[in-house]
Amino acid sequence: MTRKVVTRAPHREVGIVNAGWLLDHPVQHESHLERRFIIAALSCPVVCDIQHQPFTLQLSETGSTRKYTPDFLITFRDSTSLVVEVKPQAYIKRHDARLRAAEQMLQSQGQRFFVATDALIDGKGLAARAMLLMRYGRMHCTDDQVQETLNALLRVGRNTVSVQKLIEQGLPEDMVWNLVARHMLHVPSDFQIDRSQTITINPYAGDCHDYFQSWFGAAQR
């Protein structure tokens, strides 16, 4: 499906991100920053679903009630979820009262809240590296190719191995990265699309919310 984009202003972009290798639906975005967030979030191996503007809250601010619609709802592999607001760092202070009110209401409902700024999304080149990984995710591969790659990793005889070692086993490098993009093989948050990068077959077994925050270089709350 071709992504439809309507440009409203130089800094605005309305469109969708298709990640059919992970999701069964496109994810809408309303800015360049939201698009980069989606791509960065998709690279995190504990993420299994992303919904845009999932619901609307009625927030009480300075004696009045105002509607607030968060940008995204992230669902993790352990079935927990996280509400995410994407906001430029420069605008955080201006919207601080609303963000705090949203966090308090969500916490009262047993839901966690995370503000993803451009400093986190683009920090250490995360969005740019995730974009490269997405290119491999778009590759078409057969079930036999997937199983062959996984079997080769098992033949190495250890949980963690470099991409170079798998290439030496006769596997195409692009196939290895395709499985990383699919979350079938795993890399750390500081991953590089490089043959020296180590990968692991075992999925993360800890708290997915904390892992997601650490993926963006944010302090755990």
CATH 2.30.30 fits 140-208, yes or no: no
How remote is the C-alpha of 200 from its chain's centroid? 18
Q: What fold is seen in the domain 6-128? A: Trna Endonuclease; Chain: A, domain 1 (3.40.1350)
Residue 9's pLDDT is 46
Q: What number of CA atoms fall less than 13 Å from residue 5's CA on the CB side? A: 13
SS3 label, residue 101: helix
Give CA–CA dist 85/113, Å, rounded: 8
Residue 78, token pair as written in the block: 């352990």
Q: What's the first-to-final CA gap in the chain, in angstroms?
A: 38
Query: Which residues lie below 8 Å from residue 153, measured CB to CB, with a gap of 6+?
Result: 161, 166, 185, 199, 201
Residues 52/45, Cβ–Cβ less than 8 Å: no
Residues of the chain with CATH 3.40.1350.10: 6-128
Spell out the residues 6+ positions from residue 10 whose beta carbon is closer than 8 angstroms to its own: none
Contact between residue 117 and residue 89 where contact means Cβ atoms under 8 Å apart? yes
Tokens for 98, please give them. 């609303």
Return the SS3 of 204: coil
CA distance 26 to 121: 20
- Return per-residue pLDDT of the chain as tens, 221 residues: 444 444 444 456 789 999 999 999 999 999 999 999 999 999 999 999 999 999 999 998 666 788 999 999 999 999 999 999 999 999 999 999 999 999 999 999 999 999 999 999 999 999 999 999 999 999 988 888 888 888 877 777 678 889 998 888 888 899 999 999 999 999 999 999 999 999 998 888 899 999 999 999 996 54
Name the segment(s) of the chain with CATH classification 1.10.10: 140-208
Please check whether residue 33 is in contact with residue 12, taking contact to mean a CB–CB distance below 8 angstroms: no
What pLDDT score was predicted for residue 220? 55
